[in-house]
């Protein structure tokens, strides 16, 4: 699974980082970014929860 964040729409709420800190972090502009584009299987559920929880729906996941 691969993750990406549309940083233009990110409102810096940090929810994704709190749900799934192994995949998401905040960059120097206080926007979410992916630490690794390829998500380890053990973190896929957390990444899906982060995507589903993002209030502005800017997290995209692809198999």
Give the residue from 62, 1, 61 showing the smallest Cα distance to 16: 61
Per the CB < 8 A criterion, the answer to whether 21 and 31 are in contact is no
By three-state DSSP, how is residue 38 classified? strand
Residue 56 binds ligand SF4 (CB under 6 A): yes
User: Which one of 1, 4, 14, 44 is in contact with ligand SF4 (CB under 6 A)?
Assistant: 14
DSSP state of 37: S
Site string for ligand SF4, 23-42 (x = CB under 6 A): ---------x----------
Which residues here bind ligand SF4, judged by CB under 6 A? 5, 10-16, 32, 54-56, 58-59
């Amino acid at each position: 699974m691969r993750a990406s964040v549309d940083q233009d729409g990110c409102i810096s709420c940090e929810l994704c980082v709190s749900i799934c800190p192994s995949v998401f972090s905040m960059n120097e502009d206080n926007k979410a970014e992916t630490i690794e584009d390829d998500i380890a299987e053990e973190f896929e559920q957390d990444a899906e929860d982060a995507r589903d929880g993002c209030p502005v729906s800017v997290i995209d996941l692809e198999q």
